[in-house]
Structure 1
Amino acid sequence: MSYDAIVIGGGFYGLRVAMHLRERCGSRSVLVLEAAQELMGRASYTNQARVHNGYHYPRSLLTGYRSQVNFPRFVEEYRDAVVSDFPHYYGIARTLSKTSARQFELFCRRIGSKVGPAPAAISSLFDSSRIEELFLVQEPAFDSRILRRLLLERIECIGGIDIEVGVRVERVEGRHGTIEVHAPGITFRAPRVVSALYSGTNVLLEASDLPVIGLQHELTELALVELPDELEGAAFTVMDGPFFSLMPFPSRGLHSLSHVRYTPHHRWSERAAGETRDPYDLIRRLQGHSRFSSMKADVVRYFPGARRMEHRDSLYEAKTVLARSSGDDSRPILYRPDHGIPGYTCVMGGKLDNIYDVLLELEHQHAA
């Protein structure tokens, strides 16, 4: 079966890239292939559901600034999926933090993100001997299920985009000016293929005898918790170091709890052939091994007001960044056109709002 373009991966990036190829890059027929039985059911769902407005990256001015630039565009495009009816507080720890309260405030003002002091009633819920200062910021959440619905409604209106779930791509191969995408029992062909596989990027590259990309992976646990009534409807993030974040998780009506120290259960890097591992094989072994008790014990040291939060569930997923980003906390996009095969492009972003930088690169490539 032949198409103008094929997108491998049915997460948020894969669906949004398919729309862009159809609307802005001259592809009259686009195919999206997703290995799971559900679209946007992996990393697009299992995350903090944070719509980044730059605050999270005080050690990477460019990442913070690009988040702040992309923030209003994402909010406008997906307004129905954005949940903003809650206050969000960022606390800066007195010790072990890589950023001081003064540095954080200056960073926010430099990138243009609004920041102000938290009310005294909220600050009193934290241990002042451990928290230097608490700030009120503007950073909403998103409901991934509503986001998926919005994308699929728009795809249906656009037309020309086919979606196949339960199709695991085994390898890609360049042949006679086209790219063959091989899945069990069927081969698809297109002159242009975009891999939006996130943590599975190198698995397919190695299976296709193509150069792997320097990536770092973490197998992570996102705890879903119920907060006491006095904290319900607010978000709390303590940074910049081995700390934690409590964010509304709208699709479940709970809060997510992530912790820099305890959320990652396992970490590894891929820089060459032979080092790749399928993260979803590893995730299956991780199910049920929760570190919530360790997360909570550390949270209440800084935030005694959260002592009565209750664990309701845990979600396990792979988190992937460029290997060179592990030290400075930056989140640049991965965009590799013609990666080993003319017309084969690998894309990856560390945040949902990175998508606009990916779409811009696709337009530049199309215009070239």
Structure 2
Amino acid sequence: MIYGDDFYDAVVIGGGFYGAAIAIYLARQRGLRRVLLVERESAILTRASYNNQARVHNGYHYPRSFTTAYRSRINLPRFVQQWPAAVKQDFSKLYAIARRNSKVTGKQFERFCRDIGASLRPAPPTLKNMFAPALIEEVFLVEEYAFDSTKLAEWAKRELQESGVRQRLDTRVTTIAVGPDNTLTVSMQPRASNPVQISCQYLFNCTYSGLNQFGGSFPGSHTKLKHEITEMALMQMPTALKDVGITVMDGPFFSMMPFPARGLHTLSHVRYTPHLHWMDEHGADPYQKLARYERQTRADRMVRDVSRYLPAILKARHIDSLFEIKTVLVKNEGDDGRPILFEKHTSLPGCYSVLGGKIDNIYDVLEKLDSEKFTSSQHTIT
């Protein structure tokens, strides 16, 4: 059969870091000749890929999920090696253990870090003395980094162009259906023009919070998802905290990380960062819910609680807040694990849904795709 210009070997829906990386992988590593990336925003890597804590995990954050922690330990060196210009390493990263209401003690945290092979040593007195000793049991100096999402976006734009991946921005996919000859039919609505319909052999749904918001024959994910509207407060830190990242484990506490894209720090709090949550439901677009949400900051409440543990935070200044949808797998709420969701939809041959919990999970996705067989149409008209 001869395919025309409206046929693609693969369509990737979602221009975040995962969608861009998968599109580049399909074109460069798997040799697919016609790959299309579709993004509803006017630029790639501008939603969840930007509006997050910008942490490159090294496992410390997941003492209740050994698999997630260990995969982070494996993936971090690869991430740093592949994107060195986007990784900020020139700061001291501390993990502190609270004396009360923590699900892990200092000794347990040390044992956990040994088990996953993560570097850990006592923080020097100059750093440990910043914490209130009545509330903090122990403070450790660790190896963990931050990433600059704007530099990752520059990489993605360059690689997409050089690998020949075509892009449709300001375009929302509305339906996915079975087409003729085991192909898929994709209907799209550009923001400023008439609807468009194309066909493809493979489709990768990388829309993160919009994973189940398609009509047509798309069956939806078999995995239950939960959405949250979250706030990352962007803070200008005082001199004492400017070159420091801090996470207090493991309970209703806080974390602060450099945010290289703005030259500020993010401040998040287990109690105050989530503003609203609900279970995923077809037809209830999370992005529309976020657009209607009245974004009132809770930065003042974050600072008040954090100051009990870290008095120096009182000299920080709230500059801005990043509000975004965070989507998690319901089954991992208990252990705080962040595995990837990778589903192959049998009712739609060639259709996959992918959701990653952390940026370094991209290697787990690509390894999963390595085991899949893809063929490029030999009759595609270019």
TM-score by length of 2: 0.92
Aligned pair count?
Answer: 363
* Secondary structure, counterpart of 1:307 in structure 2: helix
Q: How does 1:293-308 map to 2 (within 5 A)?
A: 293-308=300-315
Q: Give 2:3's aligned residue.
A: none
2:179 alignment partner, one of 175, 192, 211: 175
For 1:4 and 1:367, the matched residues in 2 are separated by 9
Q: CA contact under 8 A between 1:242 and 1:259: conserved in structure 2?
A: yes
Following the alignment from structure 1 to structure 2, what is the Cα–Cα distance between the partners of residues 339 and 290? 43
| C-alpha separation in 1, matches of 2:201 and 2:365 | 19
Structure 1 Cα separation of the partners of residues 282 and 202 of structure 2 = 27
Extract unaligned runs of 5+ from structure 2: 1-5, 190-194, 376-382
For the 8 Å contact 1:25–1:362, the answer to whether it is kept is no
Question: Within 5 Å, which residues of 2 pair with 1:5-44?
Answer: 5-44=10-49
What residue in structure 2 maps to residue 203 of structure 1?
213
Deviations 1:242-293 (A, max 9, x none): 11111000100100001111000011123xxx56521211212334311111
Please state whether the residue corresponding to 1:105 is helix, strand or coil: helix
| Separation in 2, partners of 1:157, 1:59 | 41
CA distance in 2, matches of 1:208, 1:91: 49
Matched letter for residue 266 of structure 1: L
Report the Cα distance in structure 2 between the residues aligned to 1:143 and 1:116, rounded to whole angstroms. 26
1:346 aligned residue (336, 344, 353): 353
Give the conservation status (yes or no) of the 8 Å contact 1:92–1:131. yes
Query: What SS does the aligned partner of 1:108 have?
Result: helix
1:23-60 superposed Cα distances (whole Å, 9 cap, x missing partner): 22231110000001111000000000000111110110
8 Å CA contact 2:135–2:309 kept in 1: the answer is yes
Q: CA RMSD in A?
A: 1.5
Detail structure 1 runs of 4+ shifted over 6 Å in the superposition: none
Structure 1 partner of 2:93? 88
Given residue 359 of structure 1, which amino acid in structure 2 is its aligned partner? Answer: L
Q: Residue 265 in 1 paired to residue 278 in 2? A: no
User: Does 2:225 match 1:215?
Assistant: yes
What percentage of aligned pairs have identical amino acids?
Answer: 46
Q: Would the alpha carbon gap of residues 330 and 147 (structure 1) be closer, same or farther in structure 2, given more than 3 Å must change?
A: same
Counterpart residue type for residue 203 of structure 1: Q
Is the Cα contact below 8 Å between 1:52 and 1:67 reproduced in 2? yes
Taking the TM superposition and a 5 Å limit, the aligned residue runs for 1:185-200 are 185-200=195-210
Question: Aligned partners of 1:207 and 1:127: how far apart in 2?
Answer: 57
> Within 2, Cα distance between the matches of 1:199 and 1:293?
28
Q: Which has the larger radius of gyration?
A: 2
Q: Give the secondary-structure state (helix, strand or coil) at the position aligned to 2:295.
A: coil
| Contact kept in structure 2, 1:211 and 1:340, CA below 8 Å | no
- Tell me the CA shift for residue 339 of structure 1: 4.9
- The corresponding residue for 1:282 is 289
C-alpha separation in 2, matches of 1:26 and 1:36: 27
